[in-house]
Structure 1
């Protein structure tokens, strides 16, 4: 088994993961309430970029709070799924092939 080759491959994979993490800052995920009164945009790294709140929601504090919780949770889940899929693809492509360790395939 080529230990130096494996270490190089590991370092290369770490670098690709960093690049992917940086790229995910520009991948935007949109989510909105069913009625469209609240919209949120965040990056695939789960950083909030934008909100759009309909005027009628501003009249009802409790309703706005409920909407924020629901829509943000849905958006975070969606962004997490994108993030994990991208990171897993990079990790899987960079795994050295070790005999008997094919659980990642």
Structure 2
């Protein structure tokens, strides 16, 4: 039993390391989002760090319209990045879970 416990602890440590590596890798995963008409474009990492914003000149003429575009497009970009982030981290965590009898039944 003690050997099984040590094996599980090692597997958990390995998984923690893989999760940290995945978080680092997600800093390099770039996602693009744009407004429906393409006047505003945003690039964001899967860790939800905004890398660039490209604004069409015509949006600079109307402050309220630009603010609306920014809110909508940034929210879409953050949502997309969050989905990628969570899916990647969940896959790594699930892959590294120790085989504990009955655990799979509890996770369903």
TM over 0.5: yes
Q: How many residues align?
A: 105
Q: Trace 1:18-97 onto structure 2 (pairs within 5 A).
A: 18-97=20-99
Deviation digits for residues 15-65 of structure 1 (CA, Å, limit 9, x no counterpart): 000000000000001100000000000000000000100000000000000
TM-score by length of 1: 0.97
In the TM superposition, structure 1's runs of 4+ consecutive aligned residues that sit over 4 Å from their partners are none
CA distance in 2, matches of 1:21, 1:52: 26
> Structure 2 length normalisation: TM-score?
0.94
SS at match of 1:26: coil
RMSD: 1.0
| SS of residue in 1 equivalent to 2:27 | helix
Residue 104 of structure 1: CA displacement?
A: 4.4
CA shift at 1:85, angstroms? 0.4
Structure 2 gaps of 5+ residues are none
**Cα distance in 2 for residues equivalent to 1:34 and 1:86:** 27
**Secondary structure of the residue that 1:79 maps to in structure 2?**
helix
